[in-house]
Amino acid sequence: IGPVRRLRVTLPLRILVAAPTDHSKQIDAAREIAAVREVLGTVGANYVETIPFTGPFSITDLREKLAEVKPAVLHFIGHGEPTGLWMWRRDREWLAPAASLRATLQRSPSVKLAFLNSC
């Protein structure tokens, strides 16, 4: 997305695990975040920091969180479609268009890898 980014990161590697509230209750975000933390915890806190971001958040909220946390990795856990990712807008689930995600990531220069764990 956009120009090539330098792959150099500082330790600890910051990973933002974003899991918007799942209205369908098909995804157990707390369990998945715990599993990510367990696996990454074996590396050690000096090397990896996992920051969870959960709740009914919008693409704008995600953009603001990325700017605040400045993670090297975005790990998204949620529902998706070829045209976008399901998030929230005005207290309702909303399909955030892929173009919005692209723009968000272009404005987040710290992100070197985006892992989208969604259908």
What's phi and psi for 25, nearest 5 deg?
65, 25
DSSP string, 39-73: HHHTT-TTTEEEEEEEES--HHHHHHHHHHH--SE
Q: Are 45 and 32 in contact (CB under 8 A)?
A: no
* Structure-block tokens of residue 32: 């998945």
pLDDT 10s digits, 47-106: 999 999 999 999 999 999 999 999 999 999 999 999 999 999 999 999 999 999 999 999
Kind of pairing between the strands at 73-77 and 113-117:
parallel
Give the pTM.
Answer: 0.92
pLDDT 10s digits, 7-61: 788 899 999 999 999 989 999 999 999 999 999 989 988 999 999 999 999 999 9
